[in-house]
Amino acid sequence: MIVTTHSPAQTRLLGARLGAACTGGEVVLLSGELGAGKTCLSKGIAEGLGLDVAEITSPTFTLLQIHHGRLPLYHIDLYRIDRPDEIAHLDLFDEVDGPGVTLIEWPDLGGRHTPAHALKIQITTGPEDDDRQWRFSLLGNGPAHLIDALG
Ligand code: ADP
Ligand code: MG
């Protein structure tokens, strides 16, 4: 399934619909180049989880930021890692089976450590400057209800 947005505001709304549909235990993988809109969508998801959106930033120098709303949000950004095994000894993904929502930017950099059951969102840009295509796919036993929530 592919959804197109034409502004940051529309992306925020898309994220909010996803966040509102979360019941806990979801893993969402966000792939796309720098400036694609991963953090913008994350802000929307946070909004849908009842979080203070101002708290959500690109976690450039922190691998994991935890936020507490209607459900906990584990916001992970793997941009800074050089090799997947750098995170092998960390407890980054310990909460994926817990009651919270795990959101992972640059999931491919985690290699085999990245959770296998997830909603994968691949972002592409253009043709207009503010156009973004969001391609949704399920990996393993990923959260199908999030795709259903988009109608
Ligand atoms: P990333 O986290 O993928 O690096 P950000 O969300 O931080 O990207 O930044 C996305 C940039 O693209 C912002 O400057 C935002 O204003 C801009 N933008 C333009 N159109 C859109 C859109 N449709 N959706 C999301 N962001 C958009
Ligand atoms: Mg970002």
Q: pLDDT tens for residues 83-120?
A: 999 898 888 888 777 899 999 999 999 999 999 999 99
| Cα→Cα distances 143→5, 102, 124, 149, Å | 22, 12, 22, 11
> Is the pTM of the predicted complex or chain greater than 0.85?
yes
Closest Cα to atom 14, ligand 1: which residue? Answer: 35
Arithmetic mean of pLDDT over the chain:
93
Using DSSP, state whether 47 is helix, strand or coil: helix
Phi, psi of 13 (to 5 degrees): -65, -40
Q: Is residue 97 within 8 Å of residue 25, measured between CB atoms?
A: yes
**Ligand nearest to the Cα of 75, by number:** 2
pLDDT value of residue 59: 61
